[in-house]
Amino acid sequence: MSLPVVAIVGRPNVGKSTLFNRIAGERIAIVEDQPGITRDRIYSKGEWSGRSFHLIDTGGLEFGGDDEMVEYVRQQAELAIEEADVILFVVDGRTGVTATDEEVARHLRRSRKPVVLAVNKLDHQNHHKHAYEFYQLGIGEPIPVSSLHGTGTGDLLDEVVQKLPDSTVEAYDPDTIRVSIIGRPNVGKSSLVNRILGEERVIVSPVAGTTRDAVDTPFTHEGQDYVIVDTAGMRKRGKVYESTEKYSVLRALKAIERSDVVLVVLDASQGVTEQDKRVAGIAHEGGRGAIFVVNKWDAVEKDHQTMQRFVREIRDAFSFMDYAPILFISAKTGQRVSRVVPVVKEVADQHSTRISTSVLNQVLQDAALSTPPPTVKGRRPKIQYGTQVSVKPPVFVLFVSDPDAIHFSYRRYLDNQLREAFGFVGTPIRILFRKKRRD
């Protein structure tokens, strides 16, 4: 289930990025006291009253004029509005209603999306009366806030959360394996989907960026139900490409959220790039099962060590994902594509593996006897017991005498011991250390 989306919009220099940072809880967006700083939409996650949501910061909406960058920023903001479930419309309470505010309000009314009106820069209680004039925008009740100081943001988020759509459960059977295909543009993701499905179900084009939306395609293989999602390629942040691209990135992020297994498609003819690391990192941080799929293998000149060299390159570049299998395929010719779905099934099973507490603790005991935790300040931390608390990905809580004394290298050692004992092919695992409470 993907999170709902809240888009922050408004004319330039009303404090959208400051409010974004306040809600996100960190300084992500660039904040400067001049208009036009935020060019592209910036994404983060917000949470309030137990509800989580994607948060989009946008550049300022301006209407009229022929400036190319103004037009680009407007397109970006309009696409954010199209994607949003709730729109957070920010205005400047110090300057009052402007013609641009009125134009933005007309635009938002036409969108028919739920809108929350934030009257920003009202830093003191006695300034709140300035919010009343914004009733004339016809958007609804103006909520006075100061994004700089945080006052009023609680009331604002209460209203946002109230307008979020109800959580919906996907119609798929719980046993359905959900797979998303991610990667840079033009690495052959759509061609791979077509090969897996055995028919032309999605558009394939040699032009980078053809796939705009992330579309679910159910299929069945050897009695197992799957849903495969082709996503638009992700480009490096900060470069100005066509305006639809940033829109597609959010859809790819949402597809990953809904996935059990992610196919990270690499281009064999180009090797591993920094952007590939960023794309794969999204799946890893999200705790999704992952498989590296090296496409266009038919286009590579080979000798008897070519595959081994490429494996080493991948393992060096993605050292944080050494658990992920690597497949070498050609979506164009069909070479080894038949191996993809069986490996997806294996990874999905590993992603949902649950280990009994007794077996887990036997492995932990053996690991500690073989290699005890290193001493810290003359004291050796002791692992009392462990238990698995969740799956997808598997998460383990280990109760220890001193959690802070467990060195990173020993955490890595325990990770390796659990993988040696139980496999966990293709899935990240999480090991959390907690101090055992005294009875």
Q: Which of 246, 255, 206, 212 is nearest to 232 (CA)?
A: 212
Please report the domains of the chain, with CATH numbers, ordered by start residue: 5-163 (3.40.50.300), 177-351 (3.40.50.300), 357-435 (3.30.300.20)
The answer to whether the CB of 185 falls within 8 A of the CB of 209 is yes
- Contacts of residues 408-413 at CB distance under 8 Å and 24 or more positions apart, as own/partner, are 409/374, 410/371, 410/373, 410/374, 413/367, 413/371
What is the residue whose two structure tokens read 């696409």?
Answer: 79
Q: What are the binding residues?
A: 10-17, 57-61, 120-123, 183-190, 230-234, 295-298
Residue 95 CB contacts under 8 Å (≥ 6 apart), including other chains: none
The answer to whether the CB of 357 falls within 8 A of the CB of 437 is no
Q: Which of 222, 224, 233, 227 is nearest to 258 (CA)?
A: 227
Which amino acid does the sequence have at 51? R
In Å, how far are 165, 251, 279 from 24, measured between CA atoms? 20, 19, 21
Rounded distance between C-alpha atoms, residue 340 and residue 327, angstroms? 8
Q: What are the binding residues for GTP?
A: 10-17, 57-61, 120-123, 183-190, 230-234, 295-298
pLDDT of residue 399: 95
pLDDT 10s per residue in the chain (439 long)? 567 889 898 888 898 888 988 888 754 343 444 443 333 445 677 889 888 888 888 777 776 656 666 666 666 667 767 778 999 999 999 999 998 899 889 888 888 899 999 999 998 887 788 899 999 999 999 999 998 888 899 999 999 999 998 765 556 788 999 999 988 878 888 899 889 988 655 444 454 444 444 467 888 888 898 988 766 544 444 443 344 444 455 666 777 888 999 999 999 998 888 878 877 888 898 899 999 999 999 999 988 899 999 999 999 999 999 999 999 999 999 999 999 999 999 999 999 999 999 999 999 999 999 999 998 877 888 999 999 999 999 999 999 998 988 888 999 999 999 999 999 999 999 999 999 766 5
Rounded distance between C-alpha atoms, residue 77 and residue 82, angstroms? 9
In Å, how far are 2, 173, 254, 256, 334 from 259, measured between CA atoms? 9, 14, 9, 5, 24
What is the residue whose two structure tokens read 């359905």?
Answer: 176
Token pair for 124: 């003191």
